[in-house]
Amino acid sequence: MAFPINEQSPIEHDAPLPSDADAIVIGCGIIGVMTAWELAKAGLKPVLLEKGRIAGEQSSRNWGWIRAQGRDVAEIAITLEAQAMWPELDKRAGGVGLAQTGTLFMAKDDAGMDVYQEWLDQAAPFQLSSKLLSAHELADHIPAANARWAGALYTPTDLRAEPWITVPALARAAVEDGVTIIENCAVRMLDIEGGVVTGVITEKGRIKSTRVALAGGSWSSLLLRRHGVSIPQLSVRATVAATGALPEVVSDSAVDERLAWRRRQDGSYTLAPSGFHELYVGPDALRAFAGFLPQLIQDPLGTRYLPAAPKGFPDAWGTKRRWAEGDISPFEKMRILNPAPNAAKVRKLARDFAATFPTLGEVKIQDAWAGMIDVMPDVVPVVDTCDTLPNLTICTGMCGHGFGIGPAFGRITAKLMQGKDTTHDLSRFRLSRFSDGSKLVLGPNL
């Protein structure tokens, strides 16, 4: 059984640092990898830089869902493009556990079913396979379940894959197509001349380029703030666990009011608490509090607050917000965010899964981990060029949706970097929505 990548994982990509590049991408999660790969497919010679390891953070720690179900309406067309890309990616990467198994959101009462119907009405123009299942239909669909639900929202065409296998495999394919990847090479700062981004300054030296993309996940706001660009991005801790191999009681990826689960390629299950995250309160959290207030009011019990982040985390009280190009940056001091999981939640996951499927008997947890999900106040990302820093493109704040939708957002980011038409309406994801007086509209809380 494989588990998320960490700082002890061997370095796989250690190319020499070039003096210049056609394009530079910061961050080797799935969006960074796909952005660089799409640039290479367009005939450019991009460099992909990672302070730690390929997929060392949320790209290997997520649930592995590839879903259109429950997406913000502005994301649905992009999600469908990503889902169309995944089979070919699976082929090129040599198999990443891709399977079409469907997604189930179970409702505990009629009010929950009404919320699902509202989303179905909004998503109707996209002609998804999504539909509502009655309590009786759901019981027939999951006969092994002991729980009683009012019904479910079901999208049979949704997919799943194995995150810690997927992104490193995609990176290898990208290298074959001309991408230069350098792990353990933090970008300390953007290189700026006359107010224009002309490359990056890394711990190993400068690289010149007139195309730079930031796909740094939870670290993006820290780098942007260093250069005077503020985005209300926070990171929340999400606990995940994996069981040992178990009989298949359900193949769908599913979530109810207690837990989420996904069948894994090796016969085990990934489990996670439903709708529960933990926020370390730090300087950025206090600054962004007002912007996040509508989200907190909508789901007041979904977040637990912790007084301080571990040393070195992006919003830790002691993390520097200013540093010079010759200084060791925060990105070098914390190569990979590797938070400890919530042990009490892990124990409860095992009990809840066993209670939901009593034929399994005692459910044993093989391993547990946590990741830091980068979130935005309106639950949609920033995908835009930066007017105040010309030549910089930003793709961050995926709000836990990055793995499934990442291939398409990588393609979009590559097109933005080249000044090409993305074929999508990106106005919902614009950077200026936080400063132009617009009212933020919350995405679905499904």
Kind of pairing, strands 151-155 and 103-107?
A: antiparallel
Nearest-CA neighbor of 159 among 233, 89, 107, 218? 89
Q: What is the 3-state secondary structure (H, E, C) of 281-323?
A: CCHHHHHHHHHHHHHHHHCCCCEEEECCCCCCCCCCCCCCCCC
Q: What pLDDT is stored for residue 301 in this prediction?
A: 56
pTM: 0.96
Q: What pLDDT is stored for residue 219 in this prediction?
A: 98
Q: What pLDDT is stored for residue 3 in this prediction?
A: 66
Structure tokens at 368: 């547990």
Q: What pLDDT is stored for residue 291 in this prediction?
A: 81
3-state SS assignment for residue 227:
coil
**Max Cα-Cα span within the chain:** 67
Output the CA–CA distances (angstroms, integers) from residue 201 to 152, 207, 223, 329, 337, in the order listed.
50, 7, 12, 11, 22
Residue 126 near residue 134 (C-beta atoms within 8 A):
no
Backbone angles phi, psi at 388, to 5 degrees: -80, -15
Q: What pLDDT is stored for residue 348 in this prediction?
A: 97
Q: Please enumerate in sequence order all residues whose Cβ is within 8 A of that of 301, keeping only pairs 6 or more positions apart, or say none.
A: none
Residue 22 near residue 37 (C-beta atoms within 8 A):
no
Instruction: Provide the terminal-to-terminal Cα distance of the chain, rounded to the nearest Å.
Output: 30
Q: What pLDDT is stored for residue 36 in this prediction?
A: 98
CA–CA distance, 111 with 133 (Å, rounded to integer): 14
Q: How many CB atoms lie within 10 A of CB 327?
A: 12
Ordered strands of the 382-385 beta sheet: 180-182, 46-49, 23-26, 212-214, 392-396, 382-385
Ordered strands of the 187-193 beta sheet: 187-193, 196-202, 205-208
CA–CA distance, 210 with 103 (Å, rounded to integer): 41
CA–CA distance, 152 with 352 (Å, rounded to integer): 19
Structure letter (DSSP) for residue 77: H
**Rg of the chain over CA atoms, in angstroms?**
21
Helix, strand, coil in percent for the chain, rounding step 5: 35, 25, 45
CA–CA distance, 45 with 61 (Å, rounded to integer): 29
As averages over each run of 10 residues, the pLDDT of the chain (446 residues) reads 80 97 98 98 98 97 97 98 98 95 97 97 98 97 94 98 96 98 98 98 98 98 97 95 96 96 96 93 86 72 83 95 96 96 97 97 96 95 98 96 97 98 98 93 87
Question: Which structural domains are found in the chain, ordered by start?
Answer: 23-434 (3.50.50.60)
Output the CA–CA distances (angstroms, integers) from residue 154 to 69, 224, 228, 263, 291, in the order listed.
8, 39, 44, 16, 32
Nearest-CA neighbor of 412 among 81, 89, 169? 81
